[in-house]
Amino acid sequence: MVDRAVPNLPSRDFDATTAFYGGFGFEVAHRDDGWLILRRGDLQLEFFPHPELVPEESSFRCTVRVDDLDALYAAIRAAGVDERTTGSPRLHPVRVQPWGQRAGFLIDLDGTQLTIIQNPA
Q: What is the pLDDT of residues 8-52, one digit of tens each?
A: 999 999 999 999 999 999 999 999 999 999 999 989 999 999 999
The confidence score (pLDDT) of residue 5 equals: 82
CATH for 8-118 is 3.10.180.10
Angle at 16 (CA atoms; ends 39, 49), nearest 5 degrees:
80
For residue 6, pLDDT over 80 is answered with yes
Ranges of each domain in the chain: 8-118
Mean pLDDT across 56-78: 95
Cα-based distances in Å from 116 to 14, 43, 66: 22, 11, 7
The confidence score (pLDDT) of residue 80 equals: 96
